Amino acid sequence: MFKNIVVLTGAGISAESGIPVFRSETGLWEQERVEDVATYEGYARNPAKVHEFYNKMRRSLKERKPNPAHLALSRLEQEWQQGEVTVVTQNIDDLHEKAGSNNIIHMHGELRSAWCEHCDEHYPWEDDTSAATVCPKCNVKGKVRPDIVWFGEMPYQMGRISEKLNACDLFLSVGTSGVVYPAAGFCQIARAAGALCVEFNLEHSAGFSSFNYGLYGKASQTLTEFVDHLLKTGEALDKV
């Protein structure tokens, strides 16, 4: 019988909502160099370019709606009686929130948040950021950056994530290629803690051999079926 559930999500869960993934033929990292827009060095070299990259994404969130995979996770959190459901997302979009999930850890930051490097405050942010942005907390100009964890930076809430992984019986990984650490190692931690580990993807991820099994196809379908079965029976859907 399962009690606590951790769900790791990646760009693939939002793909069916029209947000491009990072690694595919048409993925974001084919259009922009990671070093330019997702490292502190790139930001220091060309802040305007980096602000604009995230401004564009933040603006586009208004048009994005959660898909059945996000909705399935929200339903799971609301209806699961046996224990806790935690969503750990690598995504910086707001689709888990829009779907109604509450117990969410944004380990790679959020588009709808900003961070002042001067006063070290993180706060909700809906507008564009630029080198002219003044921090509403300390009034210093030019130190407000997108609240995104870039390559080379420490993901958020690792202590809390580690606690959740070590206390879960069921670990689901949805729409992530499994190449970016530390998230790519979460399955091994959960597995060592005794959890059943299932991946949901279009194809085998880089870390698929660490999972007990995978369900392959669009997450809107596979995850919805899995959650329906789990809520009805308390059991994991068998590998098909």
Positions in the binding site for ligand APR (CB under 6 A): 10-12, 15-16, 21-23, 27, 90, 108, 175-177, 180, 200-203, 205, 218-219
**Residue whose token pair is 């790139």:** 42
Residue nearest to ligand APR (CB): 12
Q: Is 80 left (phi over 0), alpha (psi -120 to 50) or beta?
A: beta
Element (H, E) at 74: helix 68-79
Q: How far is the CB of 100 from ligand APR (least distance, A)?
A: 20
Is the CB of 135 or the CB of 230 nearer to ligand APR?
230
Q: How far is the CB of 109 from ligand APR (least distance, A)?
A: 9
CA 188 to CA 206: how far, in whole Å? Answer: 13
* Annotation marks residue 106 as catalytic: no
Residue pair 6/12 in contact by the 8 Å Cβ criterion: no
Is the CB of 129 or the CB of 201 nearer to ligand APR?
201
Query: Which of 31, 34, 66 lies closest to 43 in space, CA to CA?
Result: 34
Is the CB of 12 or the CB of 66 nearer to ligand APR?
12
Residue pair 136/108 in contact by the 8 Å Cβ criterion: no
Q: Which of 70, 106, 108, 118 is catalytic?
A: 108
Q: How far is the CB of 153 from ligand APR (least distance, A)?
A: 10
Residues annotated as catalytic (active site), given as ranges: 108
